Structure formats: structure tokens, C-alpha cells
Structure 1
């Protein structure tokens, strides 16, 4: 998901916030876990009734593993990348600590795409021998949209006309 954050002061730096799409809400994750738990508990109870004393313990272990996996999937949706583009700097920041992983003057930054133009596999920003991949968690269509937005933002920040690619 690509959100354009409004500048705090008119004419200041533009910001793009990139986040992975979440398919389910937190409530839906709990419902999903409940839907998984019911059949696991039923099969475990049936196995216990037939004489398998370890079935409830295995079911409990199974549900703990599923809960940890679902929590990990949910927390992976909290990551983000923030791209700040101004007249004097381009900066890429990443979660969890919002640390800057790339900084350069926008005039010298080049956007490189790999793969099909309408659905690139990789987007990279580079300057002076340094390069950083951006938007790796976005689907190909959104990476294409991101590439187009960044071309215009870089052109506007550096005073260049965006290159038309055919």
C-alpha cells in the first residue's frame, strides 16, 4: 500500500509511506484461530476417547505453533518504508527503528527497475555507488505505481523533466 503523506509545511518535503497490504483485520485473525481450534479440539477429543492419551497434548502444541505463526504474520504487516523527497535530499527510512538506510541529493539519484515495466520485480534507488532496494513487499502493480510516482518526485525535486520510457 502506498500512502502519500502531506507535507507539514507547504513546499516542504514530500513523503511516501509504503506498507504491505493486510488481508485480515486483527479480529478476523482471532476468528480464523477459533475456526482452526474447533476442529483440532474435536479431533483431539475423539483421539483421546479412542485411547490416545497424547492427543490433547499434541493438539495443544499444534495450536501454540499456529498461534505463534499467525502472530508473526500479523506483526510482519507492521513494517514500512518511508521515502522522503525534498529539493536537497532523498531519504529512505525503514521500520522498526525508522533508521535512514539511504540518503542522497535527488539530482544524483537514479531509479532502476528490473523486470517487466508494468510489473517490475525489483526497484532500486542508487547514487554514487550506493544502492537500496525499495518496495520489495509490494505487489508488482504497486511497484509499477511507485516507480512512476518516484520518477515524477525526483524530476520535480531536481528540476528535470521525467524521462519517457517506451
Structure 2
């Protein structure tokens, strides 16, 4: 799964009975989300080496002839373009979303690859997690409603992963709200 939960197991502070943003406590739970990488860096090196060998293999037939010099710029351009596009894909996938949950605050931070960091916060009591099975830009579109605006969560995840995350997030929010009301 391209997301993971970090749950603070130390227990709630004795004073407030719950993890509190206002008291400076660490979050009760933190969710990290990132896009799935089907080709890790090690695989990239292997793929690129095999691609170069396979593309350059036919050049042995024209070695020593003027045709080689006619083909070489196109083959070099194809290899360079493949490298550039794969690197661009890696850069685009450097998105990271962090959702932090306290009993009195929820924060979402999105780290964009080529843009400013985006922050959002709300009170967990008023927070609503909504899944739009068909109405959003993607299937099982997941949004958080609360605060001054609605925000999307994990739009880069698969529909099945968003559905699973929806259930986990509902459960975690219920636990956080329960701590808020049961000191």
C-alpha cells in the first residue's frame, strides 16, 4: 500500500486525557500517503541498461558505414528522451501527503514536487470524511470537509486503496473523537 499509519502508542497525557494540539503533544496518529512507484530506482538502472543494449544492438550491422552517422542522432535522441521522461515521472511522483490527528485538531499537509507546500486544518469534531463513488474526478474520490474548505485526499491512490483508506480513516477518527469525550 502506498500509505502508512504512525500511531502514537504512548498513551494520552495525564492532564488532558487526550493528545492535544494546544498542549503541544505529538499527534495521536499520522497518515503518510505517496503515489505508487511501479519502477523503483534500482529497476530504472536495469531497464535503462537493457534498453540501451537493445537499441544499440542493430547498429553493429552498420558499423563503419555512413548510415551509422545518419542513425546515431535519432538513437541518441530516443535514449535521451526516454531518460528525461522517466526522470520527469520520478519528479512528479514526489508528492507526499501527511494527515496528522489530535483530539482537538486535524492537519493535512501536501508536499508538491514543483510548487509550494499546501496546508489545511480543521476541528475533528466537525470533520466529515466523504467518498464520492462516481461524482468526483476519479472513482471513489475521497474528500475531507471541515474548516474553511474541502480538500481531496489521496487522489493518486487506486479506487480500491481509497475505499480501504476511507474505512480506516473513519475508524481512526472515531477513536480520536472517543478520546476527546472520554478523558
Name the TM-score class by shorter chain. Answer: 0.7 to 0.9
Instruction: Give the unaligned 5+ runs of structure 1.
Output: 161-166
Contact kept? 1:79, 1:95, Cα under 8 Å: yes
Give the greater-gyration-radius structure (CA): 2
**Which deviates more, 88-97 or 30-39?**
88-97
Q: 1:151 aligns with which of 164, 170, 183?
A: 170
CA distance in 1, matches of 2:6, 2:107: 14
Establish whether residue 124 from structure 1 lines up as the match of residue 107 from structure 2: no
Establish whether residue 101 from structure 1 lines up as the match of residue 85 from structure 2: no
Change (3 A) 1:56 1:74: same
1:44 Cα shift? Answer: 4.4
Corresponding residue for 1:78? 94
Contact kept? 2:111, 2:118, Cα under 8 Å: no
Corresponding residue for 1:111? 129
1:142 Cα shift? Answer: 1.1
Instruction: Give the unaligned 5+ runs of structure 2.
Output: 13-18, 20-26
Corresponding residue for 2:23? none
CA distance in 2, matches of 1:50, 1:39: 21
Instruction: Write 1 or 2 for the structure with the bigger share of strand.
Output: 1
Structure 2-normalised TM-score?
A: 0.74
CA distance in 2, matches of 1:83, 1:128: 15
Structure 2 counterpart SS, 1:108 = coil
1:19 Cα shift? Answer: 1.5
Change (3 A) 1:53 1:110: same
CA distance in 2, matches of 1:41, 1:94: 42
Contact kept? 1:83, 1:91, Cα under 8 Å: yes
Corresponding residue for 1:164? none
CA distance in 1, matches of 2:7, 2:147: 29
**Which deviates more, 18-27 or 79-88?**
18-27
Higher RCO by CA contacts (8 Å cutoff, separation 6 or greater): 2
Q: How many residues align?
A: 158
CA distance in 1, matches of 2:62, 2:125: 68
